[in-house]
Amino acid sequence: MSTMRLALLLTLAAINAGCSTAQWNEMRANPREYFNLLAPTIEADARVEGQRVTLNRWQALVVRLEEDPSYGQRWEMLPIAPPNVIAPVQHDFVGKPGTDPALQNVPGLAVFRLRGVAPGTQTVVLEFRRPLESVASKMLRFDVVVR
């Protein structure tokens, strides 16, 4: 009887595993590959303003922008309107080389990582502002074209 239960449990586990990976199969990607930003990656900075960046499907774009938190302003990405051509993967702050990572409010870079997920064109807007301000002091707008 315990052998039959084990066989039933293994069968159910296999069925559930197939259902949970169906979404990734539709995306034609492995979850590990989706979050792998090592290659192929396109790098950009503030000069991306007003430009078009072309990505292949599943390719990553990394945008690095100067930021000094001691002034109270930070870079943030505005929500992306559907249909989603790109997917934001991660947003980090990286202190400049030589700064103590234990200290707060050190100058560094705001790093935005995006992934092309579907063919089309998507506008990306990044704003530089204080958390409670309604108007940004700086804004970057660029288009991402995914093939």
Quote the pTM value: 0.70
Cβ neighbours around 18 below 10 Å, total: 10
In CATH, the number for domain 38-146 is 2.60.40.2020
Cβ atoms 110, 75 nearer than 8 A:
yes
User: How many other C-beta atoms can be found within 10 angstroms of the C-beta atom of residue 106?
Assistant: 16
| Helices and strands of the chain, counted as H and E runs | 2, 8
Residues 4-57: tens digit of each pLDDT: 666 655 555 555 444 333 333 434 455 555 555 545 789 999 999 999 999 998
127 touches 110 (CB < 8 A): no
